[in-house]
Amino acid sequence: MRSTVGWVPVTSRTLIKNLAALPDGPVSVAGWVDTVRDQKKVQFVILRDETGAVQLVNPAVRELDPEGVSVGAAEALALTESISGLSHGTFVRVMGELKHDERVKLGGLEVKIGDLEVVTAALEIPIAADSGLDKRMDWRFLDLRHPKQNLIFRIQTTFLHALRTYWVEHEFVEVQTPKLMASPSESRAELFQLEYFDTTAYLAQSPQHFKQMAQSAGFGKIFEVGPAFRADPSFTSRHATEFTSIDTEVSWIDTHEDVMRLHEELMVAGFTAVVEKHGAEVAELFGIELTVPTTPFPRIPLAEAKQIVADHGYVVPRADADMDPEGERRISQYVKETYGHDFVFLTDYASTIRPFYHMRHEDDPSLTKSYDLIYNGTEISTGAQREHRVEVLVAQAESMGLDPEELGTYLEFFKYGVPPHGGFGMGLARVLMLMLGEGSIRETTYLFRGPTRLLP
């Protein structure tokens, strides 16, 4: 059995990112061919793996001495011909001599090729870095080879690891809730319905009900990172029919302010990790200087936020509705100019535009103890204190036209004791899109699903 270090077999290869720390000498590298410069007397190959790129060099041998053919000369000619035939995207394994040379523009080192093995040859790559988004999505497995696309998912890994570290260190319990549901999770809008043996099932829009069940179960604090589904026919840059939702729920809160403070701390933890590990790469590939947000984030009641944007020349079309996308952009611009902040909590949403399970203010039942978190002009999350009194839940559900019979299992959670609690759900792809200044969540979703896309 071969020993391993960090899940990479010791005998197989050296990751390109680790070459700079090695002394000159024998080395094995592997990856795909990025470019080939096949000059008369020398050949250069840019080899790329999942961690970076390195220059390979080979003194070209174009013909054999007619007076005698040595084994070494024949092998050198074969190597030259093999390199000349390499296509972009071909995966190769190379044994060679590592040499540090500050004159080499790519990383100050190169590998002189001793032996080259073509692992799998590639056809002509059908996309380029400047191809249209739809075409790149058609060839997503090739699009993801680009360093910029690759970095997105390394950032995602770092961000989620930081959040999970925070949760675990603060004694949260991780749960995995079912995505097949016997009844609608919030309403019948935007639901995927499917046959389930001799009955009907629905794909979960969120883990909301099951997060709350955990509070009744006495878990206290829980989190989940998992898929959610919305049968939303939108073709906007920020909507998807399947997305990754970051959810958390906590017991024994006093108000939604407790949830907002938790939310702030999680975002600071995630951004701190990303800035520390990837800040320089983000600046190089995305042209963005990431910073860690300061706390507390600004908080503005929704009605006040609408008045602010109206005073600055934009009236949200419906007075009884949520903040629309243009309103979100306008209030973010105001917060950036006034507070120098990229985040803002919009609070105290009207009960008519919030789910029935959001707790309402005691002194004004027309308002809920809820919020949306806006980041760089776009909503990324909704949070609230939940209503934990079953008789109030039933009344609020009926007031919104819901049948308590269809909420039977959910309502059972509250008949046997449940503490005051609250939480939030947040779209992962939206956070990454706004963090990196991308124009669509298609860029920050590994494999996007929308109304017209089920492949690849």
Higher pLDDT, 71 or 397: 397
Average pLDDT over residues 18-33: 96
Q: What is the pLDDT of residue 297?
A: 98
CA distances from 46 to 96, 110, 129 (A): 14, 10, 17
Q: What is the pLDDT of residues 356-392, one digit of tens each?
A: 999 999 999 999 999 999 999 999 999 999 999 999 9
Q: What is the pLDDT of residues 392-402, one digit of tens each?
A: 999 999 999 88
Q: What is the pLDDT of residues 326-357, one digit of tens each?
A: 999 999 999 999 999 999 999 999 999 999 99
The overall longest dimension of the chain from CA atoms, in Å, is 102
Average pLDDT over residues 271-280: 98
Range scoring the smallest mean pLDDT among 52-61, 68-77, 137-146:
68-77
Read off the tokens for 4: 């391993």
Read off the pLDDT band of 186 (50, 70, 90): low
- Is residue 185 helix, strand or coil? coil
Q: What is the pLDDT of residue 369?
A: 98
Res 12 pLDDT > 80: no
Q: What is the pLDDT of residue 307?
A: 96
Res 68 pLDDT > 70: no
Q: What is the pLDDT of residues 127-175, one digit of tens each?
A: 988 899 999 999 999 999 999 999 999 999 999 999 999 999 999 999 9
Helix (H) or strand (E) holding 111: strand 109-120
Class of the 4-120 domain? mainly beta
- CA–CA separation, 45 vs 349, rounded Å? 59
Average pLDDT over residues 47-74: 84
Q: What is the pLDDT of residue 69?
A: 61
- CA–CA separation, 30 vs 385, rounded Å? 52
- CA–CA separation, 271 vs 264, rounded Å? 11
Q: What is the pLDDT of residue 321?
A: 84
Residue (of 348, 343, 349, 265) closest to 297 by Cα position: 343
**Percent of the chain, pLDDT > 90?**
85
For the annotated binding site for L-aspartate, the residues are: 186, 230, 382, 386
Read off the pLDDT band of 1 (50, 70, 90): very low
Q: What is the pLDDT of residue 8?
A: 47
Q: Is residue 331 within 8 Å of residue 298, measured between CB atoms?
A: no
Q: What is the pLDDT of residues 409-451, one digit of tens each?
A: 889 999 999 999 999 999 999 999 999 999 999 999 999 999 9
CATH topology of domain 136-435: BirA Bifunctional Protein; domain 2 (3.30.930)
Average pLDDT over residues 111-121: 96
Q: What is the pLDDT of residues 216-247, one digit of tens each?
A: 999 999 999 999 999 989 888 899 999 999 99
Read off the pLDDT band of 4 (50, 70, 90): very low
For the annotated binding site for ATP, the residues are: 379, 427-430
For the annotated binding site, the residues are: 186, 230, 379, 382, 386, 427-430
pTM score? 0.93
Residues of 85-124 as b/e, b for ≥16 C-beta within 10 angstroms?
A: ebeebbbbbbbbebeeeeeeeebebbbebeebeeeeeeee
Q: What is the pLDDT of residue 5?
A: 37
- Give 246's strand partners: 225, 426
Q: Do domains 4-120 and 136-435 have the same CATH topology?
A: no
Residue 314, φ and ψ in degrees, nearest 5: -135, 125
Mean pLDDT of the chain: 93
Amino acid sitting at position 38: D
Read off the pLDDT band of 320 (50, 70, 90): confident
Q: What is the pLDDT of residue 60?
A: 86
Please state the domain extents for the chain.
4-120, 136-435
* Cβ within 8 Å of residue 144, ≥6 positions away: 150, 153, 446
Q: What is the pLDDT of residue 224?
A: 98
Q: Is residue 126 within 8 Å of residue 139, measured between CB atoms?
A: yes
The DSSP string of 263-325 is HHHHHHHHHHHHHHHHHHHHHHHH-----PPPSSPPEEEHHHHHHHHHHTT---S-TTSPPPH
